[in-house]
A and B are shown apart, each in its own frame.
Chain A
Amino acid sequence: MADKDDKSPIDLSRRTLIRSGLVAGGMFGFGFAMVPIYNVFCKVTGLNGKTDPNPYNYNAETAKVDTSRTIKVQFVATKNTGMSWDFKPTVTEVLVHPGQVGELEFVARNPTEKQMIGQAIPSVTPFQATNYLHKVECFCFTTQTLEAGEEKVMPLRIIVDQALPRHITKLTLSYTLFDVTTMGERTLAS
């Protein structure tokens, strides 16, 4: 407002227009920027139980197993609408000590007459445990392609972090299987 006297209201208005327009444009960009911001936020807080889409770097020699407690890890599977595969874990729960590798298998079968691509989306409860459940090997890191009638046994190897808060004794790892045939093959991390 300081230079109000030496510029005509029309020039000033034009300047306000440009500035406000830039703000509006910036906010449009901010809308899109909320996507990565949100993802980082989820990763830090474990919001929505979103797990790390990359394999956990596990070193069997340095890993210490905390035998003082046993954690129950449950597995549940959901097929999203339109997904006609059979999809389930071979066991519904495993008991592990923190630091110890838990192994199990999921079985997927494509009963249809055509090749299909599936993507399993992991989610962990309780949320605060999300960052303490590591996946050394998981079929969820990439899409899975199954030929017509093909059955596939997919190993899953997990480790519960030694730093898991002590009040948590039970974790649930959920997979929802989506039909992503139209989207093509990809890795989730991208």
Chain B
Amino acid sequence: MTAVTDTTHHDDHRHGPAKGLMRWVLTTNHKDIGSMYLWFSFAMFLTGGAMAMIIRAELFQPGLQIVEPAFFNQMTTMHGLIMVFGAVMPAFVGLANWMIPMMIGAPDMALPRMNNWSFWILPFAAVMLVSTLFMEGGGPNFGWTFYAPLSTDFAPPSTTFFIFAIHMLGISSIMGAINIIATILNLRAPGMTMMKMPLFVWTWLITAYLLIAVMPVLAGAVTMMLMDIHFGTSFFNAGGGGDPVLFQHIFWFFGHPEVYIMILPSFGIVSAILPAFARKPLFGYTSMVYAVASIAFLSFIVWAHHMFTVGIPLVGELFFMYATMLIAVPTGVKVFNWVSTMFRGSMTFETPMLFSIAFVVLFTIGGFSGLMLSIAPADFQYHDTYFVVAHFHYVLVPGAIFAIFAATYYWLPKWTGHMYDETLAKTHFWMSFIGMNLTFFPMHFIGLAGMPRRIPDYALQFADFNMIASIGGFMFGVTQFLFLFIVIKCIKGGEKAEAKPWDGADGLEWSLPSPAPYHTFTTPPDVK
């Protein structure tokens, strides 16, 4: 982390992008890096998605058909890790790279060379992570939460590489987060006060703080694992005086803020899109900022709600239950604000709006199941069942993924200078919407009925809903190739996009021509 800004840096490329491959390797341009993040995340989305398809195919019917249980566990583990660290987080960083400088009137990110590094670590980390699948003993098979001692004393030899991959992904995220903080704090155009910043910028600022607070804790956890595996320490080994439950505390101290890292930028995206297509200002901007901040704060004091069944003393159990229930309050405020934004507006329903509305509805359903899960006694029945799987996919697929789709469609004209194909995009939306609900809604039922998560085979009473879920899953999966096609088609050509293609849109980025020039806001704009 020695990269610091180069004072001569901005002077030497007032011209356009360099030519050839080296442009991408050496680039310090926020738009180039943003694009690379987005493409990388899409590649990871397809990789993790392919694993999800294997999982759903195996679960299509009871019995073992396609894969062995050992490989199935590797698939569930890698699906989780890749989607979290490879797809969702880099996609948000990519959007931040592209949009934050343009939204606050900055010429680039504050630390452009570090920006290049933080991206280029990612492909290597991802290759290392995926390569564990081909090592002797297979890849990580202990779930994305990698509870010790399954992930230490009982883990495959490839775990060492898994730990290094996590370290690299963590360093990349921390560098990305620092860059975003530095950009937002220092490079805002004159007149762009904090309380004038678009909510996407606000949510990302808070997310970035969460990242630098908790990614190092994850790094600490995997370092302790590494030491337990190779250097004879006993952090998590009861036999040496350690404690496996300690691992869970450390992991979830990271893990709970982490799940908000994956949702807060979505709040910002939706808060930009809903007003644009309702042609009405966002309702309750200030309360939205405070709500995000309180959600971020609460995320640090609720972690043990993932551990209600490990045997926490009653007082601790009650504390974490109450704290978790409290999260419903700021989250509710946000949903009410969004609905009020739509109320008495003048709405049109282009694809970004469709994805945003789906976000509000489905994320709220995920929030409801989250509230149910916070009730500790009820959690004894829900915990580690498909009800939990349904819950976090309801908050992550419509929450993170749909918001990323919405953002892509919303800003594609700005990025490419072309309008995307609205008919195809709407098809993409409806197929994704139906596929997603078909996949994850029945999971509530099989979870309540008693199907544990992370099992390759199940009892017969779960069969029909699993089959529906698999069909929905395949539908959702196939649909994403359509998304790829739409994006490529839009890059290649299409109807010329105006500087501001959405008549209700608001923000500095729309004052720039479409496509946005390679260098923007080299002289800061005037913000009123």
State if A and B touch, Cβ cutoff 8 Å. yes
Q: Which residues of A contact B (CB under 8 A)?
A: 1, 4, 9-10, 12-14, 16-17, 20-21, 23-32, 34-35, 38, 42, 45-48, 50, 53, 80, 119, 121, 127-128, 176, 178-180, 182-183, 188, 190
Write out the residue numbers on chain B whose beta carbons fall within 8 Å of the beta carbon of A178. Answer: 238-240
Closest 4 CB pairs of A and B: A31-B220, A178-B239, A28-B216, A13-B110
Q: Are A12 and B243 in contact (CB under 8 A)?
A: no
Say which one of B52-60, B244-252, B360-368 lies at the interface with A. Answer: B244-252
Q: A16-B110, A30-B217 are in contact. Are A121 and B5 (CB under 8 A)?
A: no
Min Cβ gap B237→A in Å is: 8
**Interface SS of chain B: helix, strand, loop or mixed?**
helix
Q: Are B215 and A24 in contact (CB under 8 A)?
A: yes
Write out the residue numbers on chain A whose beta carbons fall within 8 Å of the beta carbon of B239. Answer: 80, 119, 121, 176, 178-180, 183
Min Cβ gap B526→A in Å is: 17
Q: Are B219 and A9 in contact (CB under 8 A)?
A: no
In the complex, which of the residues A27, A35, A48, A179 contacts B245, with contact meaning CB atoms closer than 8 Å? Answer: A48
- The chain A residue sitting closest to B6, CB to CB, is A10
Starting from the known contacts A13-B183, A17-B111, 18 additional A-B residue pairs (CB-CB under 8 Å) come to A10-B5, A13-B110, A13-B186, A16-B185, A16-B186, A17-B114, A26-B216, A28-B219, A30-B217, A30-B220, A31-B218, A31-B221, A47-B313, A48-B245, A119-B239, A119-B240, A127-B313, A188-B241
Is B7 on the interface with A (CB-CB < 8 A)?
yes
Q: Are B111 and A13 in contact (CB under 8 A)?
A: yes
Tell me, in angstroms, the Cα distance from A184 to B219 when the chains sit together: 28
Tell me, in angstroms, the Cα distance from A183 to B174 when the chains sit together: 36
**Interface SS of chain A: helix, strand, loop or mixed?**
helix
Min Cβ gap A45→B in Å is: 5
Contact with A along B166-206 (1 / 0, CB 8 A): 00000000100110011101110000000000000000000
Q: Are B217 and A27 in contact (CB under 8 A)?
A: yes
29 contacts between A and B (CB under 8 A): A4-B186, A9-B110, A9-B187, A10-B5, A10-B110, A12-B186, A13-B5, A13-B182, A16-B181, A17-B114, A17-B182, A20-B212, A21-B1, A26-B216, A31-B220, A32-B224, A34-B253, A38-B246, A45-B316, A47-B313, A48-B311, A50-B243, A80-B238, A80-B239, A119-B241, A121-B241, A127-B313, A178-B240, A180-B239
Min Cβ gap A138→B in Å is: 14
- The chain B residue sitting closest to A119, CB to CB, is B239
Is B232 on the interface with A (CB-CB < 8 A)?
yes
Q: Are B212 and A23 in contact (CB under 8 A)?
A: yes
Q: Which residues from 63 to 113 on chain B have a C-beta closer than 8 Å to any C-beta of chain A?
A: 110-111
In the complex, which of the residues A17, A27, A80, A188 contacts B4, with contact meaning CB atoms closer than 8 Å? Answer: A17
Is B502 on the interface with A (CB-CB < 8 A)?
no
Q: Are A27 and B243 in contact (CB under 8 A)?
A: no
